[in-house]
A and B are shown apart, each in its own frame.
Chain A
Amino acid sequence: MTPDDLDGILSTADNLEPSSDFVMSVMAAVRLADAEPPALTFPWLRFAAGLTASGVMAAAGTILLLRSGTALTTVTAPLAQLAAVVPELGYATAAVLLSLGLASVPRLLFRD
């Protein structure tokens, strides 16, 4: 097959006409789409407020714990003992929590 043959075949126009009810069916779908309520946008304002609040809470908690001194060691002592016995438990817990957090991101972003 020569390049000219190929060019000739590919240049041939197709004789395909839309069905008689094509416009009607498109317009029916369009009217249906128009009647739908607009998709919910991502709540950026609430997200920002939540993020700020979380930051403030975390900072406040850290400051309080640091000020409490001995109380901090009392709270973390059982965890430290557990980590000494089974250190993998801490890594596993962190991995599970991180995975759960990452898995929820697409759901949050793409939910209607």
Chain B
Amino acid sequence: MQPVRPALCPMLRAKERPMGKEDQDADCVARVVAGDISGFEAIVQRWQHRVLILAWRFCRDRATAEDMAQEVFLKVFRSLALFRGDSAFSTWLMSIALNTFRSRLRAEGQPLLSLDPDRLLAPTPGALRGLEERQRAEAVRRAVLTLPKRYRDAILVYYFEEKDLAESARILAVAEGTLKAQLHRGRELLRRRCANLDPLAAGVIKEEP
């Protein structure tokens, strides 16, 4: 039996429609604002992965990323009553995350980019070439963090949002044209910095043949 699509069934009441992600968020926000903290757990469950990934991209250290992600959720909880729904909940959440990560980096400076051997040097049998590629890719991602802040943020958010220019511009609170220019300049800078990239330049110990 074919599922009934709401557009084809005018009798289907709004109440019976399946809840979208935004509706679920709005429902949880309403519950938390009304005093039911358990509603916040659903928000954390739903968004933990995305917030953690963005945090990871800003510091490239798992423990720091989890700490920053927790800070984001605490800030979101404290300011949930101020969420008016003018923008999507995801945009609002990611803007708070971005500001938190920026403040953290401003306060603590650039992270010390230690190597994570589990991620970088996991030896796949006879795959030295693959290992070098991964080391090179990791060095490029770390080089992003050394860019001037506006280019760093533009590149991190744009690729995090899967190249959605409009959404990235909303999160960064800049005009789309400005973001385009920042991306162009940032990528150019990054390309120049990574032009002669050698995995050793990133401090990665090369596997002996």
Contacts and interface: CB of A to CB of B under 8 A. Distances in A.
Q: In the complex, which range does the number of interface residues on chain B fall in?
A: 35 or more
B26 interface: no
A11 B163 contact: yes
Contacts of A19: 66
A9 B66 contact: no
Q: Is the interface of B mostly helix, strand, loop or mixed?
A: helix
Nearest to B62: A16
Q: In the complex, which range does the number of interface residues on chain A fall in?
A: 20 to 34
A27 interface: yes
B44 A27 contact: yes
Contacts of A17: 49
Q: Is the interface of A mostly helix, strand, loop or mixed?
A: helix
B52 interface: yes
Nearest to B162: A11
A92 interface: no
Contacts of A18: 48-49, 52, 66, 69
A110 interface: no
A34 B74 CA distance: 10
Contacts of B141: 9-10
Interface stretch (B16-24, B164-172, B189-197): B189-197
Contacts of A27: 37, 40-41, 44
B65 A23 contact: no
Interface in A16-42: 16-19, 22-23, 25-27, 29-31, 33-34
Contact of A9 (B74, B137, B163): B137
* Most chain A beta-carbon contacts within 10 A, residue among B57, B65, B66, B195: B66
Contacts of B45: 23
Interface of B: 37, 40-41, 44-45, 48-49, 52-53, 56-57, 62, 65-66, 69-70, 73-74, 77-78, 136-137, 140-141, 144, 155, 159, 162-163, 187, 190-191, 194-195, 197
Interface of A: 1, 3, 6-7, 9-12, 14, 16-19, 22-23, 25-27, 29-31, 33-34
25 contacts: A1-B140, A1-B195, A1-B197, A6-B194, A9-B140, A10-B159, A11-B159, A12-B137, A16-B53, A16-B65, A18-B52, A18-B66, A19-B66, A22-B48, A22-B52, A26-B69, A26-B70, A26-B74, A27-B37, A27-B41, A29-B70, A30-B74, A33-B74, A34-B37, A34-B77
